[in-house]
């Protein structure tokens, strides 16, 4: 699913980038994909998805 319309970024690609960069920051995850926020409307949702994904990974690693 498209997460960031301005950059055409898919949620799964943003999550993979956040994992690779070991960051909870959407802006850093976008940078990993060669993008940067434009309108900024996706950032809260992106941050929530990244945080949920990191929590799931942490729980799975226990």
Q: Is 60 exposed, middle or buried (0-12, 13-18, 19+ CB in 10 A)?
A: exposed
Site for ligand FES in 26-55 (CB under 6 A): 37-42
- # of chain residues touching ligand FES (CB under 6 A): 10
- Report, in Å, the least distance between residue 22 CB and ligand FES: 22
Nearer to ligand FES, 7 or 15 (CB): 7
CA distance 27 to 2: 16
- Report, in Å, the least distance between residue 61 CB and ligand FES: 30
For 58, the token pair is 């942490």
């Amino acid at each position: 699913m498209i997460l960031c319309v301005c950059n055409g970024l898919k949620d799964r690609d943003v999550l993979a980038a956040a994992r690779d960069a070991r960051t909870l920051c959407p802006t850093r995850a976008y940078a990993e994909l060669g993008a940067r926020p434009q309108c900024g409307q996706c950032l809260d949702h992106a941050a929530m998805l990244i945080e949920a994904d990191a929590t799931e990974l942490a729980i799975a690693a226990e």
